[in-house]
Structure 1
Amino acid sequence: MLSLMTSNPPSPSPSIFKEKESLSQLPSMATAASYLSAVQQADSCAHTHDNPHAPLTPTFSISSSVTTSSEDSVDEDDDNNTCFVNPHTPPTSEQVFTTAHTEFGHCANEAYRCVSKHDYTKPFQEHTIEEPPCYVHFATYISFLILHMLGHLRDFFGKRFAKSHFTHLMPHNGYAPLNSSFDSFVLRRLKRRMDDCYAQPITGIPGRTVLVLDRYSPDYNHTQIYTGGNTRALNISSYNYLAFSQGRGSWADAVAESIRRYGVSSCGTRLDSGSNDLHVSAEALVAHFLGTEDALVCSMGFATNSTFIPGLAGKGTLIISDELNHTSMRVGIRQSGAEVRIFKHNNMSSLESLLREVIIQGQPKTHRAWKKILVIVEGLYSMEGTLLNLPKIVELKQKYKFYLYIDEAHSIGSLGSRGRGVTDYFNIPPGSIDVLMGTFSKGFGAAGGYISGPKTLIDALRLRSHSGPYAEAIAPSVITQVVVSMASIMGVAPAPQLTKSTLFPSFDSSIVAPKESAAEFPGMAPASMLPTWMNLCPSLTDGSEARTRMRRLAFNCRYLHVGLKKLGFIVYGHAPSPIVPLLIFNPGKLPLFVRMMRARPIPIAVVVVTYPATSFETGRVRLCPSASHTKEDIDIVLRACDEVGGILDMKHGSCERWGIDEVCERAVELVHSV
C-alpha cells in the first residue's frame, strides 16, 4: 500500500520553450520522464499478471489526482494483487476500481464533484460571441489571403510545368477530373499542411490518456511514415464523456460474454435475422431511460438523422432549423423534400419572429396553411459548446403549436443530474418534446443512435425510414455496451421474473414503457429489461458509480471552461458543456498549438477545428474533458494552455484575469460560481 506523501499542489513546471535549454536541464522533464517510465513498468506488470504469456506492451500512464485532504490516501489494487514500483508508482484513490489509470483516473476527494442542473434563480445565459482585438481579425484575414494567393499561383503554374503532380485535377486519358482544383483547394493547401494535427492515429482505448503512434512526413504530409514508437498523452479530445469505453470492468465483461453468446457482428438487416432479444431489450431500455413511450435504435448515429428525418417530413411540411445544426440533420432535411427556413443560432427571438412570418404567409404560391411545422435543434452544439434554451423553446412550442425535434448526440448522458440530457438538465418533462434523437457513441462508449417518442410515431418510422427495413442491425457486442451503460446510469431494480414471451416479443414489435412514464423521468430500470445472463457488479446495479462519474464530469467541464476564461482566453459555449471551444482564430497558430501541446513534459493530445466546420476567422481547439480526468489532469491542461497561449498571443478575453496558481487553488470556488 502506497500513500501520497504531500497534499500540496504541484508547482508549475518551467517552460520547455526557453532558448538554449536542454531536456536534462529541466527538472520537470526529468521527473515526468522517470514518472511515466515507472507507470509504464507498473502497467506492464499488471498486464502480465492478467496474461503471463502476453508480450509486454506500453500501456497506461500519468498520475491520478493529487487530493487536498490528508485522509485521501492512495493505493492500487488490481484483483486484490498490487504491483509495486518504487518510488514513482502512480497514486490512486482509496476506492478500488478494476480499471487502469490510463482509462480512468482515481480521485476520492468529494470536493471535486458537481451536479449538472440548471439554476432557475439565474437567467439563462444567451449565447454571446466575444470578439478579439481588431488586429487579430486583420492578421487572420491576411493569413487566408496569402494562403489563397500563393496556393492558386502554385496551382496555375503547377498544371503547366508539373503536370504529373496535378493529374487528378486535370482531364486525363479521356476522363474528366473527379473534382476541381477550386473545390479541393482547402483540402490540399490548408488541411494537408496540418494533417499530423487532424488525423492522429491511436491504438487502444481513448480514455483518460491515449497512445498516439509516432510518425513523420518527409513531403509536407503527402505521406506519413511510422517510426514504430508511440507516445502516451493526456487525452482531452475524445467524446468518451462518462468514460464507459473501458478495457476492463463490468462493461468489458458483459461485452465479452455477448460475443461468446451471439458472435462478433450482426448477420443481417432489421427485417431478417439481424435483430435479436438484445435489440428489443435495448429499445425498451432507451424508452424507459428517456421517459417516452417507445424507441427505435439505428446502427449509425449520422444515419439516424439523415434517414429518419425524411420519414417525419415531406411535401407541405415546413422545417425550421438552427443555422448551426449538424450536417447529418442538414442531409436528412434536404432528402425530406420539405420547405426549409433557418433561424439564428440559439436565438429565440429570431425563431419567434420567423414562426410568426411563416404561419401568417403559409405555403409558397398557394398560401395554404402548412400541414405541419417541425423545428429541429440540438441539445448541445458540437462546435460551439452551447446549450439549447429549452425552457424558452418549449414555451414557444405551446404558443405556436409546432413539433419539436431535438438532437441529443452530445447532451445525452453528459447533462442532467440523472444523465438524461437537456430535458433532465432543465427539469422539463420529456413528454413536452415530440422527438428525441441521440447517439450511443459519446456518453455510452458504443456506436449507433436512437429515435424516441410516441409509439404511433415510432411504429411508422420502423416502416417508413430507410434505416428501419434496410440498414444493418447493431452488432450484439455493441448493443450490449449500450444496455450495460444505460442500465448503470439508471440503476437496476429487482423485478418479478417474466417469461420470455412476455419480455421479448417478436423483433418487429417493441416493448413499450408505461404511459405514465412519459410525463416524468422513471426511476431505476426493472431487472426484467436486462438479459438474464447479464450480471452487473453492485456499484453498477445501484447506479452509484455512474452518479459519481456524472458528478466528476460536471466538475471537470465547469472547471476547465471557467479556468480558461480566468486565464484570459476567449471560450465559446456554456460552462456545463463537455465541449470547450478555445478560440485561436489565426490558421497558422492551429498546428503550432497542437504540436506545442504534444511537446509538453507530459504530452497532451488536442484537436483543432477550422473551415469548413467553422467559419474562416474562428478556428479553434476543441477540448473535451471527461469523467475519467482528475482535478490534477485539468490543472495540467490549464497550465499548458496558459504557457502556450501566452507564447502564441491567444489571450484576448475580457474576463477578469487570474494567475494560473490562483485558478488551480480556487478551483472549487470557480466551479460553484457558475
Structure 2
Amino acid sequence: MAFAYLQAALNARKREGLLRQRRIIDSSAGAMIEVDGQHFLSFSGNDYLGQRQDIAVMQAWVEGISSYGVGSGASPLVTGHTRAHQQLEEFLASGLKREAALLFNSGFAANQAICQALANPNLCILSDKLMHASFVEAAKHCDGTYKRFRHNDIDHLTTLFASSNRQAPQQSQANIQDYLIATEGVFSMDGDLGRLDELHKVAQQYDAWLMVDDAHGMGVLGKTGLGSAEQLNLSQSQVPILMGTFGKGIGTSGAFVAGSQVLIDYLVNFAKHYVYSTAMPPAMAMATYASFQSLADGVKQQTLTQRIAQFRQLCLQTGVPITDSQTAIQPIVIGDPVKCVKISEDLKQLGLWVTAIRYPTVPKGTDRLRITLSASHKHTDIDAFVDALVIVLKRYQVLTHD
C-alpha cells in the first residue's frame, strides 16, 4: 500500500511513549487556560511577561486593524511593507545599536532564511549542540559545512576550528573561509544562558561571525527588554547576526534579524523566506512595537524575577529536583518518557498544566517537565504549584529528599 510507512511510524512513536497530540485551548485569561470545560493554572507557555493580554498591546492591535485591515495583503517587496513595519524595524535597529533590522513571520523562518541566504561552498557553520531545530535543520541542508560543538563548551569549539585547519588571522591567511558560530541567548529547553562573552572573543580570534538566536531572551533580558545583546552590551561587531522573536516574552508573533545594512540588504535580496512570504500583518507590527514600549520600565521583568526566585527557593526546600537555570524556564528532568507523561497527567488532575517534553525535542534520556514561569503568576500560584509538585513527584520517587 502506498505510503504505508506513515501509519507504521506513528505506531512506533506510540509504542515508545513519544506520540505527539494536540489539545484544544478553549480560552485563556492571565495564567489560566480552559481545556474541555476545565480550568487549569498553566506553567507551560512562553508568554513570560503576560504581554498577550496587555491592554496597550491589544489596543495597538485594534488600531492597526482600523488603519490597515487584518492582513498585509502582499509580500514585503510588493505592497506588504507598511509604515508600521518600518517603525518596528527602525526601533529594533536603534535600540539594539544595529544599522538595520528585518522582520520575518516566525523565528523558524528567520533561522531558515539566515542559513539559506548565507550558504555557499566556503561556509562553515559551527553551532551549539542545543540550538533550536529551526536552525539545525536549515544548517544541515545548506550548501556548506556544518559542525556542532558540545553545549556551551568553548574548548570543543576551538578544537573544531583546529580540525578545520583554521588558523588565527595573525598566524596565516591561507585557506580563508567564512565561519559562522551560532548559539542562543537563552536555551529553550534548559533555560541556561549562552556564553556570549566568550564566544564573541573566539569569533574575533578566528575572524568568524557570531550569530545569537535570542528567541527566549527577547523581552525578558536587558534593561528595557531588548534581550541578551542589551543586557551584555554586545555591539554589532561582536554579534554581527542577532535574531529575536516576538511570540514569547513580547507576547505577539513574528521575528527579526538585526545587523549591518549590508547584511539586511543581502537578506532582502536573497532570503527566499522573506522575498516569497506575505508580510506579517501591520497590526501585528503595531502591537509588537507597543509591547516593547510597555516593557521599557522593567516592572514586569522584576515581577518575573521575583517569581523565579520564589519557585527555586521552595523547590530547594522541598526536594523538587530543579536545574541551575536562573531564567523563566525551569525544567525538571525525569529521564523516562512514559513516567514523564504520567506525572504531567497527574498534575492536570490537580488543575495544573505542565507539558511533558520528550525525545526528539530533547535528547534521549532527558525527558522532562518544561516548567515556565510568568509575571502573570501570582505569589500564591507558585506556592500551590510547588505543593502539588511535591505530592505528585513523591509518588514517582523523584524528590531529592522528603
Instruction: For 2:97 and 2:205, locate their aligned partners in 1 and report how far apart those are by CA, in whole Å.
Output: 24
| Structure 2 contact 236–260 (Cα < 8 Å) conserved | no
Return the offset for 1:378: 1.0
- Number of the residue aligned with 2:320: 569
Return the offset for 1:458: 0.7
Matched, 1:614 2:362: yes
Matched, 1:245 2:52: yes
Instruction: For 1:192 and 1:570, locate their aligned partners in 2 and report how far apart those are by CA, in whole Å.
Output: 23
Indicate which of 406, 427, 440 corresponds to 2:246: 440
| Structure 1 contact 264–475 (Cα < 8 Å) conserved | yes
Return the offset for 1:650: 0.8
**CA RMSD in angstroms, aligned pairs only:** 2.2
| Structure 1 contact 318–370 (Cα < 8 Å) conserved | no
- Number of the residue aligned with 1:488: 294
Return the offset for 1:283: 0.8
Instruction: For 1:568 and 1:352, locate their aligned partners in 2 and report how far apart those are by CA, in whole Å.
Output: 38
- The one-letter code matched in structure 1 to 2:10 is S
Indicate which of 17, 23, 26 corresponds to 1:203: 26
The 5-angstrom pairing of residues 176-187 of structure 1 reads 176-179=3-6, 181=8, 183-187=9-13
- Number of the residue aligned with 2:347: 597
Return the offset for 1:609: 0.5
Return the offset for 1:361: 8.1
Q: Report the 3-state secondary structure (helix = DSSP H, G, I; strand = E; otherwise coil) of the residue aligned with 1:205.
A: strand
- The one-letter code matched in structure 1 to 2:226 is R
Instruction: For 1:424 and 1:555, locate their aligned partners in 2 and report how far apart those are by CA, in whole Å.
Output: 21
- The one-letter code matched in structure 2 to 1:211 is E
Structure 1 residues 184 and 549, CA, compared in 2 at 3 Å: closer, same or farther? same
| Structure 2 contact 340–356 (Cα < 8 Å) conserved | yes
- Number of the residue aligned with 2:184: 378
- The one-letter code matched in structure 1 to 2:109 is A
Indicate which of 116, 119, 126 corresponds to 1:310: 116
Instruction: For 2:22 and 2:315, locate their aligned partners in 1 and report how far apart those are by CA, in whole Å.
Output: 25
Return the offset for 1:313: 3.0
Higher-Rg member (1/2): 1
Structure 1 residues 201 and 489, CA, compared in 2 at 3 Å: closer, same or farther? same
Indicate which of 387, 391, 394 corresponds to 1:639: 387
Tell me: higher relative CO, structure 1 or 2? Use CA pairs within 8 A at least 6 residues apart: 2
Q: Deviations over 1:570-619 (max 9, x none)?
A: 323521x111111112223222212221122xx11110111111223111
Q: Report the 3-state secondary structure (helix = DSSP H, G, I; strand = E; otherwise coil) of the residue aligned with 2:203.
A: helix
Instruction: For 1:567 and 1:400, locate their aligned partners in 2 and report how far apart those are by CA, in whole Å.
Output: 47
Instruction: For 1:354 and 1:390, locate their aligned partners in 2 and report how far apart those are by CA, in whole Å.
Output: 18
Q: Report the 3-state secondary structure (helix = DSSP H, G, I; strand = E; otherwise coil) of the residue aligned with 1:467.
A: helix
Q: Deviations over 1:339-392 (max 9, x none)?
A: 111110111121122223324489xxxx96142111011111111212101121
Structure 1 residues 396 and 199, CA, compared in 2 at 3 Å: closer, same or farther? same
| Structure 1 contact 205–245 (Cα < 8 Å) conserved | no
- Number of the residue aligned with 2:272: 466
| Structure 1 contact 251–481 (Cα < 8 Å) conserved | yes
| Structure 1 contact 321–343 (Cα < 8 Å) conserved | yes
- The one-letter code matched in structure 2 to 1:641 is L
| Structure 1 contact 285–486 (Cα < 8 Å) conserved | no
Structure 1 residues 414 and 354, CA, compared in 2 at 3 Å: closer, same or farther? same
The 5-angstrom pairing of residues 509-658 of structure 1 reads 543=297, 547-575=298-326, 577-600=327-350, 603-652=351-400
**In terms of mean alpha carbon deviation, does 622-631 or 330-339 score higher?**
330-339
Instruction: For 1:456 and 1:428, locate their aligned partners in 2 and report how far apart those are by CA, in whole Å.
Output: 19
- Number of the residue aligned with 1:391: 197
**In terms of mean alpha carbon deviation, does 426-435 or 475-484 score higher?**
426-435
Q: Structure 2 regions of 5+ residues with no counterpart?
A: none
- Number of the residue aligned with 1:189: 15
- The one-letter code matched in structure 1 to 2:257 is I
- The one-letter code matched in structure 1 to 2:222 is G
Return the offset for 1:636: 1.3
Instruction: For 1:336 and 1:479, locate their aligned partners in 2 and report how far apart those are by CA, in whole Å.
Output: 30
Instruction: For 1:549 and 1:335, locate their aligned partners in 2 and report how far apart those are by CA, in whole Å.
Output: 40
| Structure 1 contact 417–550 (Cα < 8 Å) conserved | no
Q: Deviations over 1:271-308 (max 9, x none)?
A: 11222111111111111222211000011221111122
Structure 1 residues 595 and 180, CA, compared in 2 at 3 Å: closer, same or farther? closer
| Structure 1 contact 305–329 (Cα < 8 Å) conserved | yes
Return the offset for 1:323: 1.2
| Structure 1 contact 269–473 (Cα < 8 Å) conserved | yes
- Number of the residue aligned with 1:522: none
| Structure 2 contact 115–135 (Cα < 8 Å) conserved | yes
Q: TM-score, structure 1 length as denominator? A: 0.56
| Structure 1 contact 416–422 (Cα < 8 Å) conserved | yes
Q: Deviations over 1:606-649 (max 9, x none)?
A: 10111111223111000110111122211111111111111111
| Structure 2 contact 181–203 (Cα < 8 Å) conserved | no
Q: TM-score, structure 2 length as denominator? A: 0.92
Q: Report the 3-state secondary structure (helix = DSSP H, G, I; strand = E; otherwise coil) of the residue aligned with 1:286.
A: helix
- The one-letter code matched in structure 1 to 2:340 is L
Q: Report the 3-state secondary structure (helix = DSSP H, G, I; strand = E; otherwise coil) of the residue aligned with 1:640.
A: helix
Q: Report the 3-state secondary structure (helix = DSSP H, G, I; strand = E; otherwise coil) of the residue aligned with 2:334.
A: strand
Return the offset for 1:483: 1.0
Indicate which of 207, 211, 221 corresponds to 1:401: 207
Paired-residue identity, %: 26
| Structure 1 contact 292–431 (Cα < 8 Å) conserved | no
Q: Structure 1 regions of 5+ residues with no counterpart?
A: 1-170, 215-229, 491-542, 660-674
| Structure 1 contact 308–466 (Cα < 8 Å) conserved | no
| Structure 2 contact 48–373 (Cα < 8 Å) conserved | yes
Instruction: For 1:360 and 1:264, locate their aligned partners in 2 and report how far apart those are by CA, in whole Å.
Output: 50
- Number of the residue aligned with 1:33: none
- Number of the residue aligned with 2:107: 301
- The one-letter code matched in structure 2 to 1:201 is I
Q: Report the 3-state secondary structure (helix = DSSP H, G, I; strand = E; otherwise coil) of the residue aligned with 2:124.
A: strand
Instruction: For 1:189 and 1:486, locate their aligned partners in 2 and report how far apart those are by CA, in whole Å.
Output: 45
- The one-letter code matched in structure 1 to 2:42 is N
Instruction: For 2:236 and 2:305, locate their aligned partners in 1 and report how far apart those are by CA, in whole Å.
Output: 22
- Number of the residue aligned with 1:28: none
Instruction: For 1:237 and 1:262, locate their aligned partners in 2 and report how far apart those are by CA, in whole Å.
Output: 33
Structure 1 residues 360 and 255, CA, compared in 2 at 3 Å: closer, same or farther? closer
